[in-house]
Amino acid sequence: MIGPVSRAYETWRLEIEIRRLTSNDAVLLDNVADGVFDEPIDRMRVAAYMAESGHLMLVALSDGEVVGQVAAVIHRHPDKSTELYIDEVGVAPESWVGTEVDNPARGLYESYGATVEPFVMYVLRL
């Protein structure tokens, strides 16, 4: 996704690639920005996580560096539809978050000095 990012003193373009991680490209986790994960990446834990069919991880890449991640688990129920449980979201300190126009959380983001920027969202059914 390419979109404008602006600050009071500059405007530039940031290219972000969103990728669903597989065991074949887990090597991408060798180049992670500070703050994206809580702890250092452990290759054995990554392999175990990726081996589980119900585990999903998407990463946001900027120039080959992981600047964001979301980890999720497919949660199956005996009495209702299957759900996707989002377990973790992590972003580099200078990243973005998207939300609905009427989401009250916008007040929180804006109270920390975040600026509102237009963007386009695409939904991918997994």
Homologous superfamily in CATH for domain 18-96: Gcn5-related N-acetyltransferase (GNAT) (3.40.630.30)
For residue range 92-115, what is the model confidence (pLDDT) as tens digits? Answer: 876 667 778 888 888 888 887 888
Q: Beta 11-15 vs 2-6: how paired, if at all?
A: antiparallel
Distance CA 76, CA 79 (A): 9
Tally of CB atoms within 10 A around 36:
22
Is 70 exceeded by the pLDDT of residue 35?
yes
Domain ranges of the chain: 18-96
Q: What is the rounded end-to-end Cα distance, in angstroms, of the chain?
A: 19
Coil vs helix vs strand at 4: strand
Query: How much is the mean pLDDT over the chain?
Result: 82
Q: Which of 28, 27, 4, 34 is CA-nearest to residue 16?
A: 4
* Full-model pTM: 0.64
